[in-house]
Structure formats: structure tokens, C-alpha cells
A and B are shown apart, each in its own frame.
Chain A
Amino acid sequence: MTDGHSEAETEPNATTDSATMTDDSEDELKTHSAGFESPPTGETIIEAEDVNVWYDDDRALEDISMAVPEHNVTAIIGPSGCGKSTFLRCINRMNDLIDDARVDGTLKLAGKNVYDEDVDPVALRRRVGMVFQKPNPFPKSIYDNVTYGLEMQGIDGDYDAIVEDALREAALWDEVSDRLHESGLELSGGQQQRLCIARAIAPDPEVLLMDEPASALDPVATSQIEDLIAELAEEYTVVIVTHNMQQAARISDKTAVFLTGGKLVEFDDTQKIFENPEHQRVEDYITGKFG
């Protein structure tokens, strides 16, 4: 972080440190988008301020501050073990389920700190959907998989229509429309992952968290999922963890680079990160000099 500092100071229109830019992220966004062919911007929806996570006594995240704009795809990249998944799990409080995980700092979703006393993690997870690294459909029918969230959240409505919409949005409808009542486990890996995406978007969350959703898939399935994510961003805010640099470059509007030790080193427009990063280490990481 310190060696990045000196570089940052030489750049006139950049903030001094990624950790300090959260308060006026609005302005910040505009400054950066000015030079590029206007990447979509929006209101800040997720705002992390000095988020720290410990597993027992090991610090997995150190003072993370970043602001994720609405209706954008934000990618999180970084070497293995740097805390990307941990950060993602902070947003929908899945870390609560890990016994020895401890979180401090504030993390606001639409202005409300999700770690406040009066926030029910169950209610929070109904607003923030999640797709996991390994496809994990329930051992139920395709239909029941998609309606699971609706049923658990007590959402009424025309389930048939919702299922069709969600599956269409997840680009799976054509492949499964004639076998909705067969087990979700009978699908291929890529289809399963798209089913998981359909399942996550069926209850219409505000934010969609994706933890390396394509890492277990072949190139064709991966590109299907990538196209899908680009479309999803029109309706949802997507935060996606990926190991694949090209993927981040292709699909995201903003990119956060975490480096070892659980630090957020740089957070900026994707184009900027990939063409002209401010920190030498980020450039080294992106060009594959270390990682």
C-alpha cells in the first residue's frame, strides 16, 4: 500500500488512496469516466468503510473501503487467498455462518449499515442474491429450484411465469422448458450454474454476488455466463469475483484489485485498471508478473 502511495500522488486526478475515496465516490466516478467512452454510472449502492475481517486471530481483510455503483458490474480480482470471497460474504453476511469469523467496520447497502443491530441477515440475503463458485442446485426439480427463494421468502405470484422469466433471463429456458420437473442435478455443469443464477434472480434481489461463477466451466459455457452477466447488469447490481483477468476486463465496469494480506490496492474503472493502473503491483499482477 505504501509504495502505491507515492505513485498515486503524482497522478493529479486520482485520490490518494483507495481507502479514502468512499466518501465522495460520486465525484470520483465522474472524474474517471470522463476520459473513457462513458461507462455506465449510477448511485452508490454498496459502500464499505474500513471493513476488517478476522478468522480467529488471522486478519483476512484489512480496512477495505470501496463504493459499488448501482446497475454496474463490479469485478474483484486478486491472487488466491487475498480475501475476495471473504469480502463478498461480508456483503450478504454469509460470514455470520462461519463460527470464528469476526467482522468490523461499516458496510452500507443503500445507505443502511448491514451490520447494525436491527438488520436481520435473513432479510438482507433476500435483497442480495448469491451465486457460488461450484454449481450447487438443490436435489429438487428444476422448477422447485427456481421457486425455492420465492417460497422461502413467502413471495406470492404466478410461479409459472416467474420461473419462465428467470430461466429465460439465465439463458436456460430453451434447454429445459420441456423438462422442468426433472431433477436439477441431471443438468450439465454449465446448465447447473445457469440454473443457480436463475434461482438467485427469481426473487428479484437488488444485488447479485457471484463468486467465480464460471471457474468450473468450459469456454463455451463461460462465454454464455459472461453474456448473461452483461445483461443482468441492466436490472441488477452485480459484484463478481473472478480469477480470469480477461473476464474481468470483458464484463466489468469497475474493478477492485485485492492483493495478498487482504488489502484493497486499487479500485477504479476497469479500463483504467487494465490500461493504466496507478500501482506498480497492480500492473505486475495484471500482466502476470506475480500472482
Chain B
Amino acid sequence: MFVAPRRSQARQVRTPSDQPSAPSSDTEVPVWDLPTRLFHWALVLAVSVTLGTGLFGMPQRLNLHLLAGGSVAVLLVFRLIWGLVGPAASRFSTALASPRRVLDRLRRADTATYLGHNPLAGAVLFGLLGLLGLLVVTGLVSLGGEEQRGPLAASLSWTTGRRAHGLHELLAWGVIGAVVLHLGGMLIESLHLRENLPAAMVTGLRRRPDAGAVELPALRPRRTLGAVAFVALVLLGGAWLASTWGTAPSGWSSLDEHPDQALFEAECGSCHTLYHPSLLAADEWTLVMQTLDEHFGEDASLMPEPAERITALLIEHGNGTWDTEAANELRGQQDPAEPMAVTSNRWWAEHHRDLEEAALASPDVRSPGNCEACHLDAVQGRFGGHRIDVPRSAQP
């Protein structure tokens, strides 16, 4: 059955074929309450920014991505609560339908006018919310494991973060698919009903046909309960973030407490970036320290005693002892013909291909080995994508 096109005096209805011939007694009824509408458009914004930064802004826009992603998480918390105690149209119970009914709707065996979510729209709603929830989780896992940041940094390995990252990207495409379905369904419904559904998400009003509409159950929103639950959950999440943010990441040997850290910094940092011990394997460091009199075109000899202490530090904290992104990516990629030069590491070379020439010409960089000219956190061995700041003079 096809719901016959109706005429309406409703402002929001834009149907080119509309003829004011037959009077209508359709009434407008409030469906989407203000919190639900605010949630909807805030989510549109947050998801757009998250997707935009995630797809086009990485790694430099990671912090904005985290901010937008965090907003998505907060909005999801609200929607979860509102799905349980909100007004009828926002409740999950009214959006939930059996797979059979979803299929019926898809096959157009069910063409009723739903004031809330039709079975198919409900399925898309759950799919979208579920995907976004999984994105928040995989994002946090990726951030903690791969970037060694955020609340999970202390408990996750780089490999776990890396896997989560792959999943995170896949899920992002899932969200794009769900958004396309949502927009497509909304468009089809709008045309089919001759009702401006996007406008309904602005005004909150839907047109109720005289007959045949699937009414919403009489459920009052429990605002106080919802607000209390929302504030409580957000505070709880905030407390969790505050208590875990910045805690020592896993896979991080505590170089800062090493008795020879100051000596290492003073001796190895006077001519070049203080290369982090995680950049070379222990045997490569040994080689470096044995050949200081022929050190990348210079004599960099040290007194035997400090040389020994620094060698010990480097061996103790060599590449194999770190679970950071740089340590993992560089591992095993060193060119055997150049065991001491990080700049001949295959992974390094792959990631600096476009940069080298412009960098060499820049007085702020001068050498491809001047890591800290662009990596603000090079000395900590982190090399976070968001901490890259290429000097203007070195930009191609």
C-alpha cells in the first residue's frame, strides 16, 4: 500500500506538485524534543569534524580529532540515556523492531507512516550509534597503544593499538556508509511522505495524517533522571580521564631516572639532537660507541669512563626495550650496510622522502639528522604525529 500524497499547509512541506486544492485536516505534532534535536545537530557537527580530521588531517590534526571524538562520546552517553528515559520518539523501545519488520519495511511490504522511527530507520539508528560507540573504543585503544597517550596508555601494547587503529579506520567507513543510508532513507521518506523531514529535526514537529499513522506510545520523558544520569556519567568519565591522563605509558623504560641520563644528554646532545636510545638496537649502539673517532664525518671521542657509562645506558635502553611507535616501526628496518645511521633505516627513509631536500636547504634544519627541528618530542622518543612542526624555511 502506498500512502497517498497529502497536501498540507505546513510551512516546512516543500512539494513542487503541491496544489492547494484539497483542504487538509493533517495536524502537526511535536515528535523530537529539544534535547534530541540539539543532540542530533551537535552529533552532525562532531562526527563531521571527526571524520574530516581523521580522513584528511592526520597526523597533524590529531588533537582536534580527539576533541571532536570526545564530543561524540559525550553525545553518545546522552543519547544512550535519552534512549532509555527520553520522550517516546527518542526511546530505543519505539525504534527497536524485529529483523522481520525491518525486512518488511525494506521490501515495502510495510508502508505505514511512523511518527518516530520506522523499523528500517530504527535499524540505521542502532547501527550508527553502535558504530560510533565502537569508534570511540577503538580510538582510545589506538591512542593508548600506538601513541602511548590517553587513559589506556599504561595498559596497552603498541601492537594492540596498531590493530585497533586498523579497525578504527574500517569502522569509520562503516559510519560513512550508515550516514549515507540515513540520508538516503530520510530523502526517500521525505519524498514518499511529501514531508520535509530534515525540517522536522529543526522544529521537532511532524505531520500526523488523519489516519493510518503509527502512533507513538504515551511515554513522558523523565528529564530529572536523565539529567542526573548524564551529569553523573560525564563526571565519572571525566574523573577517569583526569586520573589516567599522563600516567607513565607502558613499554617506556624510565630513562629519566637513569643515573647517567644527565651525562648522556650533555655528551650526546651537544652536536646533534639527543637521539633517543630506542632508535637503534643495542649492538648498533655498541658499534656507534666503539667508533666515536669516526663519527659521521667527525671525531667525537669521549673519555673512556663517560664513554663506558653512556654505552651501558644505551645498551640497557636500546630499541628492543621500548614499545613505542618509533621503536616498533624502526625495528629490523636498519640498512645492514649503514648500521649506525637512523637516516638509512628503511622505515625512516620511507617517511621522509619528500622532506629531505627542502630540509637540507633550510638553516633551521640543515641535516636530515636534525630530528628535533621538526619533531618537538624527538628527545623523548615519542615522535607523535601531532608534535610535528616543520619550520617555515624547510617547507617545500
Q: Do A and B come from one complex?
A: no
- List B residues at the A interface (Cβ < 8 Å): none
A residues with a Cβ closer than 8 A to B are none
